[in-house]
Amino acid sequence: MAAVEQSDLSLMSLEDELTCSICLSPFDCPVTIPCGHNFCQGCLLTTWTEPYRCPQCRTLFHTKPELKKNTVLSTVVEAFNLRLVRSASSMSAEEKETKEETREDAVIRCDTCMEAEAANTCLTCMVSFCEEHLRPHRENPVFRLHQLIEPVGDLLERLCPDHHKLMDLFCSQHVRPICSLCLQQDHKGCTFTSPEDQRKLKESELKDKLDVLNAKIVHNETIMYKMRDMEDMLKASATIKKKALVAEYQEMHDMLTQEESTAMNAVDREVETCGTKLNLLKKKFAENIDHMNGAKEYINNQLSQSQTLAFLQVSFNLPAAVNFDPYTPRINLDSKKVMANETFAVTLKDHLTELFKQPVESRLPLAKPGTTAASASGVSSIPCEASFWKPHLSEPLGNPGYPLCPSPDQGPQSKAGPKKKPSKPSDIPANLASAEKRSDLLKYASALMLDRKTAHKRILVTEECTKASVTDEQANYPNCPQRFVVCSQVLTSKGFSSGRHYWEVRLSCNNFIGIGLAYSSIDRKGSTSRLGRNAQSWCVEWFNVKLSAWHNSHETVLCNPNPKRVGVLLDYEGCKATFYNVADRAYPFHTFEFPFAQAVYPAFWMFSSGSSITLCKV
């Protein structure tokens, strides 16, 4: 018997596993789908529509799966239902008695006899009556005006605590039930209604809110289903992209393997050629040795007959091999083809090493031949073309600091002939436009200092007004009209309205920093006071991995040389401001061309805490 009870308990513990996740009831004719989950056949066919997905794990099936009855699960469910019926029929008498006692406790008794169940409650008498004691209220006209309602058990709660009268009104202003005396005293002038009307109003409000909740729940569930579909689409798209990447990298691997094999074959062929030359020379030297050994043997033979008269008449000439001076040939593997392959391998490795150091967003313009950075990155207008660097294999490698993206004014670099001049006429010397000699720029050097009166309170000006840093705590600067209030910017104390001027700035990082020019009339407080976002300023700005030129809210994306020091040459009469990447030489990477109408001041924008700019002593 104990074993049977233990079996019943074990089977009852499987109730969750034997329940359909659609109808939340024990399985009825369970069927299994390919992902392994089980459902009632009727429930699945009723809810299943294209596309076919598992209601539980959301697995997508491209065609409608064939449904097969799970006979083993069906047998277990039948046994479970049988145990469930037996368990329900064998409820103990003690449990039934407990339920009856609980039900009796909830029954409202007659307040007169204290035994019979109450039939009605009189709100006038504030007492509950059974049918027997309710007869006077039904038969005697004296009780005709008494208000009878369904039996209630909270009569004491319906009495006003101040006046001990029935609270048969509801104050809408104070949101609480009141009695008639409360309405005449404390709630005089308040709007009121009956508890029944208030109850209907509350029921209506709660039902409206319930409808809103139901609609929101349905909408959220719909969005969740769409997100699950989107997740499946993302996984499928990722699989396709991974396959494409594997194919591309495999092709590159195959090409490199082929190039490696070609280079190895070139070395082998060179070894064979050198070996052939050595074999020819060795053969010639061996033949000479044989000739000289024959002559040596002849001489020794004659010397052995030196006592004869014939010896006195001997005549012998040395062979021609004696006149050949042997030498060690200078043969090596430094042929043009072998050296070309070796140089190309080193150059390609160095270029790929530098390329892989760049963020992935910056690699494509540097690696894709014959395309502009705009077409590579999706930007509509980028002024410089970035070609894959292909040095001639017979030439030494160039200066690694040379920029891969020349300025539009710079033109292509060439070893022979003069540098290309700017496309537009200017009286700036050609060697300045090509920027090969930094000394030519330094002839126009100007000493600058930062103006504390213009510095935003997040910018700390130090080192004799030559360094500006961004801080988290605002500096205690006095308020003045010249100070930038919205954007963390600063101007120099000196502006230029004529001539040519050059200065250099050292950057702490290439992120969230802008260098430019501005009129003194630039807005200091508005949302458009940021450099380049108005007609009174120009700037080049590093924002994340992107370098852009800004003027009057127009952006031009540039190739980013990631400079540590930036030089600026202002040609006021020539209406030009050129920005340089300063290294061993100065390489221009952008030029603003604009007729200046006022004196222009060097200007700087910084955002990241800890970043800084320093005016260099030139």
The verdict on 514 and 580 lying in the same domain is: yes
d(CA 392, CA 398): 10
Distinct helix (H) and strand (E) counts, the chain: 12, 24
- The reply to whether 513 and 593 lie within a common domain is yes
Number of domains in the chain: 5
Q: What is the pLDDT of residue 105?
A: 54
Determine contact, residues 591/580, Cβ cutoff 8 Å: no
The number of beta carbons lying within 10 Å of the beta carbon of residue 432 is 23
d(CA 472, CA 457): 10
DSSP per position, 496-549: BSSSEEEEEEEES-SSSEEEEEEETTS-SSSTT-STTSSTTEEEEEEETTEEEE
559 and 450 inside one domain = yes
Please, what's the largest Cα pairwise distance for the chain?
Answer: 191
Rounded-to-integer distance, Cα 270 and Cα 335, Å = 8
- Model pLDDT, residue 491: 97
> φ and ψ at 541, to 5 degrees?
-135, 130
Q: What is the pLDDT of residues 303-343, one digit of tens each?
A: 988 888 888 888 888 888 888 888 788 777 777 788 888 88
Q: Is residue 498 part of a domain?
A: yes
Closest CA to 561 of 537, 533, 589: 589
> What are the b/e assignments for 384-400, b being 16+ CB within 10 Å?
bbbbebeeeeeeeeeee
Q: Which domain holds residue 69?
A: 2-87
CATH at 550 = 2.60.120.920
Q: Quick one: 379 and 510 in the same domain?
A: no
| 590 in a structural domain | yes
Q: Choose between 96 and 273: higher pLDDT.
A: 273
Tell whether the model's pLDDT for residue 248 goes beyond 60.
yes
- Name the pLDDT band for 428 (thresholds 50, 70, 90): very low
Last residue of some domain: 251, 280, 315?
A: 315
Using CA atoms, how far apart are residues 148 and 134, in angstroms rounded to an integer? 10
Q: Same domain for 459 and 538?
A: yes
Q: Please tell me whether residues 133 and 83 are part of one structural domain.
A: no
- How far apart CA 552 and CA 226 sit, in angstroms, is 42
Q: How far apart are CA 481 and CA 451, in angstroms?
A: 13
Closest CA to 343 of 389, 393, 388: 393
Statement to judge: residues 604 and 475 lie in one domain: yes
The predicted structure's pLDDT at residue 101 = 55
Shared domain check, 353 and 259: no
Is position 415 within any domain?
A: no
- CA of residue 280 relative to chain centroid, distance: 67
Percent of the chain's residues with pLDDT above 70: 83
Exposure string over 449-467, b if 16+ CB within 10 A, otherwise e: ebbbebbbbbbbbeeebbb
Compute the C-alpha angle 514/516/517, nearest 5°.
Answer: 150
Residue 98: per-residue pLDDT: 56
- Judged by average pLDDT, the poorest of 107-111, 413-417, 457-461, 499-503 is 413-417
Residues 302 and 355 in one domain: no
Residue that terminates a domain, selected from 393, 428, 463 = 393
- Shared domain for 460 and 544, answered yes or no, is yes
Q: At how many degrees (to 10) do helices 336-357 and 195-303 cross?
A: 160
Mean pLDDT calculated for residue range 137-162: 82
Could you tell me the two tokens for 582?
Answer: 């300063």
How many CA within 13 A on the CB side of residue 513?
A: 23
Please check whether residues 378 and 456 belong to one and the same domain: no
Position 468 scores a pLDDT of 95
Pull the structure tokens for residue 431.
Answer: 């060697």
- The string of pLDDT tens digits covering residues 441-473 is 999 999 999 999 999 999 999 999 999 999 988
> Long-range pairs for 388-392 at CB < 8 Å and ≥24 separation?
389/351, 391/347
Q: Specify the CATH number for the domain of residue 47.
A: 3.30.40.10
What's the mean pLDDT in 271-300?
A: 91
Statement: the pTM of the whole predicted model exceeds 0.75 = no
Asked if residues 577 and 500 have their Cβ atoms less than 8 Å apart, the reply is no
Which has the higher per-residue pLDDT, 53 or 488? 488
- Asked if omega into 51 is within 30° of 0 (cis), the reply is yes
